[in-house]
Amino acid sequence: IVHWMESVLHAGETPHLHSYASCVVRVCETALEHGISLVGAQFTMVGEPLTAARLAIVQRAGARASIRYASAEMSVVGFGCMAPQATDEVHFMTDRCAVIQPQTESVSGLHRDALLVTSLKPTARLVLLNVSMGDTGVVNQRACGCALEHLGWTTHLHSIRSFEKLSAGGVTFSDADLVRVLEDTLPAKFGGGPTDYQLLDEESPDGKPRVRLLVHPRLGPMDPAQVR
Protein backbone atom coordinates (compact mmCIF):
# COMPACT_ATOMS: atom_id res chain seq x y z
CA ILE A 1 0.00 0.00 0.00
CA VAL A 2 2.81 2.40 0.87
CA HIS A 3 4.58 1.73 -2.45
CA TRP A 4 1.31 2.29 -4.31
CA MET A 5 0.79 5.63 -2.57
CA GLU A 6 4.39 6.59 -3.34
CA SER A 7 3.94 5.78 -7.04
CA VAL A 8 0.74 7.85 -7.22
CA LEU A 9 2.49 10.80 -5.59
CA HIS A 10 5.43 10.52 -8.03
CA ALA A 11 2.90 10.64 -10.88
CA GLY A 12 1.68 14.00 -9.58
CA GLU A 13 -1.64 12.68 -8.33
CA THR A 14 -3.23 12.35 -4.91
CA PRO A 15 -3.58 8.93 -3.28
CA HIS A 16 -6.58 8.82 -0.94
CA LEU A 17 -6.99 5.86 1.39
CA HIS A 18 -10.24 5.26 3.30
CA SER A 19 -9.74 2.89 6.24
CA TYR A 20 -9.91 2.26 9.97
CA ALA A 21 -7.88 4.69 12.05
CA SER A 22 -5.50 2.05 13.41
CA CYS A 23 -4.91 0.66 9.91
CA VAL A 24 -3.98 4.13 8.66
CA VAL A 25 -1.51 4.41 11.53
CA ARG A 26 0.13 1.14 10.46
CA VAL A 27 0.48 2.41 6.89
CA CYS A 28 2.10 5.65 8.08
CA GLU A 29 4.42 3.79 10.46
CA THR A 30 5.55 1.59 7.58
CA ALA A 31 6.25 4.65 5.45
CA LEU A 32 8.30 6.20 8.26
CA GLU A 33 10.24 2.98 8.83
CA HIS A 34 11.24 2.84 5.15
CA GLY A 35 11.92 6.55 4.75
CA ILE A 36 9.05 7.05 2.28
CA SER A 37 7.43 10.48 2.28
CA LEU A 38 3.65 10.64 2.07
CA VAL A 39 3.52 14.42 1.64
CA GLY A 40 0.42 15.13 -0.44
CA ALA A 41 -1.36 11.88 0.47
CA GLN A 42 -4.75 11.96 2.11
CA PHE A 43 -6.55 9.60 4.49
CA THR A 44 -10.15 9.34 5.59
CA MET A 45 -10.20 7.60 8.96
CA VAL A 46 -13.29 5.81 10.22
CA GLY A 47 -14.47 3.20 12.69
CA GLU A 48 -12.24 4.14 15.63
CA PRO A 49 -11.43 7.35 17.53
CA LEU A 50 -8.97 9.70 15.84
CA THR A 51 -6.78 10.48 18.85
CA ALA A 52 -3.95 12.98 19.07
CA ALA A 53 -1.37 10.16 19.07
CA ARG A 54 -2.77 8.63 15.88
CA LEU A 55 -3.03 11.97 14.12
CA ALA A 56 0.56 12.83 15.07
CA ILE A 57 1.88 9.73 13.28
CA VAL A 58 -0.08 10.57 10.12
CA GLN A 59 1.26 14.11 10.17
CA ARG A 60 4.79 12.89 10.82
CA ALA A 61 4.54 10.83 7.62
CA GLY A 62 3.56 14.03 5.79
CA ALA A 63 -0.04 13.06 5.02
CA ARG A 64 -3.32 14.77 5.76
CA ALA A 65 -6.18 13.09 7.59
CA SER A 66 -9.87 13.69 7.95
CA ILE A 67 -12.63 11.65 9.54
CA ARG A 68 -16.20 10.63 8.93
CA TYR A 69 -18.81 9.74 11.51
CA ALA A 70 -21.20 7.05 10.34
CA SER A 71 -23.01 3.89 11.31
CA ALA A 72 -24.85 1.16 9.44
CA GLU A 73 -28.15 2.57 10.70
CA MET A 74 -27.50 6.25 9.88
CA SER A 75 -24.96 6.07 7.03
CA VAL A 76 -22.65 9.12 7.03
CA VAL A 77 -23.83 11.96 9.26
CA GLY A 78 -20.56 13.75 10.04
CA PHE A 79 -17.69 15.06 7.92
CA GLY A 80 -14.38 16.14 9.42
CA CYS A 81 -14.06 19.86 10.12
CA MET A 82 -11.29 21.53 8.13
CA ALA A 83 -10.54 23.95 10.98
CA PRO A 84 -10.92 21.63 13.96
CA GLN A 85 -10.36 22.43 17.62
CA ALA A 86 -10.40 18.71 18.50
CA THR A 87 -8.71 15.94 16.53
CA ASP A 88 -11.99 14.12 15.80
CA GLU A 89 -14.25 17.15 15.26
CA VAL A 90 -16.93 16.72 12.61
CA HIS A 91 -19.73 18.80 11.16
CA PHE A 92 -22.98 16.98 11.97
CA MET A 93 -25.26 16.78 8.91
CA THR A 94 -28.38 18.33 10.40
CA ASP A 95 -30.27 17.98 7.11
CA ARG A 96 -30.09 14.17 7.51
CA CYS A 97 -30.44 13.62 11.26
CA ALA A 98 -31.21 15.49 14.45
CA VAL A 99 -29.20 14.81 17.59
CA ILE A 100 -29.99 15.40 21.27
CA GLN A 101 -28.46 14.22 24.56
CA PRO A 102 -30.15 13.07 27.81
CA GLN A 103 -28.00 15.42 29.97
CA THR A 104 -28.88 13.25 32.96
CA GLU A 105 -27.99 9.71 33.97
CA SER A 106 -31.59 8.92 34.93
CA VAL A 107 -33.00 8.61 31.41
CA SER A 108 -33.30 4.90 30.56
CA GLY A 109 -29.88 4.24 32.08
CA LEU A 110 -28.12 6.07 29.24
CA HIS A 111 -24.94 8.04 29.66
CA ARG A 112 -25.72 11.75 30.07
CA ASP A 113 -23.67 12.55 26.94
CA ALA A 114 -25.18 9.75 24.83
CA LEU A 115 -25.97 10.76 21.26
CA LEU A 116 -29.63 10.17 20.43
CA VAL A 117 -30.36 10.54 16.72
CA THR A 118 -33.56 10.98 14.74
CA SER A 119 -33.69 10.51 10.99
CA LEU A 120 -35.16 13.43 9.03
CA LYS A 121 -35.10 12.43 5.37
CA PRO A 122 -37.99 10.42 3.90
CA THR A 123 -35.39 8.35 2.01
CA ALA A 124 -33.52 7.31 5.19
CA ARG A 125 -32.65 3.61 5.25
CA LEU A 126 -34.20 3.34 8.73
CA VAL A 127 -36.71 5.51 10.56
CA LEU A 128 -35.02 6.50 13.82
CA LEU A 129 -36.55 8.38 16.74
CA ASN A 130 -34.11 9.33 19.51
CA VAL A 131 -32.10 6.14 18.94
CA SER A 132 -28.84 5.57 20.78
CA MET A 133 -25.99 4.28 18.62
CA GLY A 134 -24.04 3.47 21.78
CA ASP A 135 -21.86 6.56 21.39
CA THR A 136 -21.16 9.60 23.50
CA GLY A 137 -19.77 12.93 22.35
CA VAL A 138 -19.63 16.67 22.80
CA VAL A 139 -22.19 18.62 20.76
CA ASN A 140 -21.81 22.35 20.25
CA GLN A 141 -22.35 25.21 17.86
CA ARG A 142 -19.41 27.30 16.73
CA ALA A 143 -18.23 29.33 13.77
CA CYS A 144 -15.13 27.63 12.34
CA GLY A 145 -15.05 29.34 8.94
CA CYS A 146 -14.38 26.17 6.95
CA ALA A 147 -16.19 25.23 3.74
CA LEU A 148 -18.55 22.82 5.50
CA GLU A 149 -19.87 25.63 7.68
CA HIS A 150 -20.70 27.61 4.54
CA LEU A 151 -22.84 24.66 3.41
CA GLY A 152 -24.99 25.22 6.49
CA TRP A 153 -23.61 22.56 8.84
CA THR A 154 -22.88 24.58 11.98
CA THR A 155 -23.44 21.82 14.56
CA HIS A 156 -20.11 20.35 15.66
CA LEU A 157 -19.46 17.01 17.30
CA HIS A 158 -16.22 15.78 18.86
CA SER A 159 -14.74 13.41 21.47
CA ILE A 160 -16.85 10.61 20.00
CA ARG A 161 -16.51 7.40 22.00
CA SER A 162 -18.56 4.24 22.41
CA PHE A 163 -19.94 3.24 25.80
CA GLU A 164 -21.24 -0.16 24.71
CA LYS A 165 -18.84 -1.39 22.02
CA LEU A 166 -15.12 -2.01 21.92
CA SER A 167 -13.34 -1.21 18.64
CA ALA A 168 -9.65 -1.95 18.22
CA GLY A 169 -7.54 -2.71 15.18
CA GLY A 170 -10.54 -2.46 12.85
CA VAL A 171 -12.54 -5.02 14.83
CA THR A 172 -15.70 -4.20 16.79
CA PHE A 173 -16.84 -6.42 19.65
CA SER A 174 -20.44 -6.10 20.83
CA ASP A 175 -21.15 -5.66 24.50
CA ALA A 176 -23.23 -8.87 24.55
CA ASP A 177 -20.27 -10.97 23.37
CA LEU A 178 -17.91 -9.33 25.83
CA VAL A 179 -20.27 -9.77 28.77
CA ARG A 180 -20.68 -13.47 27.98
CA VAL A 181 -16.92 -14.01 27.94
CA LEU A 182 -16.21 -11.92 31.03
CA GLU A 183 -19.14 -13.03 33.18
CA ASP A 184 -19.67 -16.64 32.08
CA THR A 185 -16.80 -18.21 30.14
CA LEU A 186 -13.82 -16.97 32.16
CA PRO A 187 -15.33 -17.51 35.65
CA ALA A 188 -16.42 -21.02 34.63
CA LYS A 189 -12.88 -21.92 33.60
CA PHE A 190 -10.70 -19.98 36.03
CA GLY A 191 -12.97 -19.29 38.99
CA GLY A 192 -14.28 -16.09 40.49
CA GLY A 193 -17.39 -14.15 39.58
CA PRO A 194 -18.67 -11.75 36.94
CA THR A 195 -16.86 -8.74 38.44
CA ASP A 196 -13.43 -10.37 38.57
CA TYR A 197 -12.61 -9.92 34.86
CA GLN A 198 -12.37 -6.61 33.04
CA LEU A 199 -11.33 -5.40 29.60
CA LEU A 200 -9.50 -2.11 29.29
CA ASP A 201 -9.35 -0.33 25.93
CA GLU A 202 -6.06 1.56 25.71
CA GLU A 203 -3.79 3.20 23.20
CA SER A 204 -0.03 2.68 23.13
CA PRO A 205 2.25 5.75 22.85
CA ASP A 206 2.68 5.08 19.11
CA GLY A 207 -1.08 5.23 18.51
CA LYS A 208 -1.72 1.50 18.20
CA PRO A 209 -4.87 0.08 19.82
CA ARG A 210 -4.35 -2.19 22.78
CA VAL A 211 -6.84 -4.25 24.77
CA ARG A 212 -5.82 -5.45 28.23
CA LEU A 213 -7.60 -8.20 30.14
CA LEU A 214 -7.44 -7.57 33.87
CA VAL A 215 -8.05 -10.33 36.45
CA HIS A 216 -8.71 -9.61 40.12
CA PRO A 217 -5.61 -10.45 42.18
CA ARG A 218 -7.71 -12.33 44.72
CA LEU A 219 -8.03 -15.20 42.22
CA GLY A 220 -4.33 -15.92 42.61
CA PRO A 221 -1.62 -16.67 40.01
CA MET A 222 -2.77 -17.62 36.51
CA ASP A 223 -1.12 -18.60 33.25
CA PRO A 224 -1.51 -15.46 31.08
CA ALA A 225 -1.41 -17.51 27.87
CA GLN A 226 -4.31 -19.69 28.99
CA VAL A 227 -6.40 -16.73 30.10
CA ARG A 228 -5.80 -14.97 26.77
What is the gyration radius of the CA atoms in the chain, in angstroms?
Answer: 20
Higher local confidence (pLDDT), 201 or 24: 24
Q: Is 87 helix (H, G, I), strand (E, B) or coil?
A: coil
What is the rounded CA–CA span in Å between residue 45 and residue 165?
18
How many Cα atoms sit within 13 Å of 49 on the Cβ side?
25
Q: What is the pLDDT of residue 185?
A: 87
Q: Which of 93, 47, 43 is nearest to 71 (CA)?
A: 47
Q: What is the pLDDT of residue 194?
A: 66
Residue 149 has pLDDT above 70, yes or no: yes
Residue 175 has pLDDT above 90, yes or no: no
What is the rounded CA–CA span in Å between residue 165 and residue 135?
9
Q: Provide the whole-model pTM.
A: 0.74
Q: What is the pLDDT of residue 104?
A: 79
Strands (E), the chain: 16-20, 42-46, 64-71, 75-80, 90-92, 97-100, 114-119, 131-141, 155-162, 165-168, 171-174, 197-203, 209-215
Rounded mean pLDDT, 118-125: 93
Higher local confidence (pLDDT), 110 or 109: 110
Q: What is the pLDDT of residue 54?
A: 83
User: Tell me: the pLDDT tens digits for 132-144?
Assistant: 988 999 999 999 9
Which residues does residue 20 pair with via DSSP β-bridges, in sequence order? 46
Rounded mean pLDDT, 150-168: 85
Higher local confidence (pLDDT), 203 or 74: 74
Q: Is 152 helix (H, G, I), strand (E, B) or coil?
A: coil
